Amino acid sequence: MPELSQEGERGRAAAPWGLAEVTGPSMVPTLQHGDRLLVRYGAAVRQGDVVVLRHPFQQDLLVVKRAVERREGGWWVLGDNPYAGGDSTDYGVVPDELVLGTARFRYRPLRPGQRSPLALARWAVSAARPLLPDRSASRRLRAR
């Protein structure tokens, strides 16, 4: 389950934007281990958004998931990797007060071994991308 660094959480009171680092495979292929996220704290959540939330059972742990469906009591969230787990299929609906914000932009840092011109060109093309809502998430929900 992706865990986020607390660096964005500390600055949250001063500004509605923050940074977070992804660890874990549950949002693959959208997010990879080591990706950095630009998070808009307090933003309205829509179906398909990538959201940052507090884990319902371990509230000192921040996780990133996709908001799939609005249900009574909060949001049903799923990881993009169906084999990783650690989402609403394990802990149910996430209350609104635990959803902190939406991830708007993903930045993939350069890996230490990426030194060749071809590797640098590939990185430059794919390193930074906006995180757009995935409206097809409801199909994944029906499949589970």
Residues 6+ apart with CB under 8 A from 138: 47, 68, 69
Mind listing the pLDDT tens digit for each residue in 21-46? 999 999 999 999 999 999 999 999 99
Query: Per-residue pLDDT for 139 more than 90?
Result: no
0.85 exceeded by pTM: no
Q: Are 105 and 132 in contact (CB under 8 A)?
A: no
Q: Which of 77, 27, 36 is nearest to 56 (CA)?
A: 77
Q: Give whole-number Cα distances, 66 to 47, 75, 113, 118, in Å.
A: 8, 10, 31, 32
Give the Å distances, CA to CA, from 126 to 77, 120, 122: 26, 10, 6
- What amino acid is encoded at 41 in this protein? Y
pLDDT level of residue 113 (50, 70, 90 thresholds) = confident
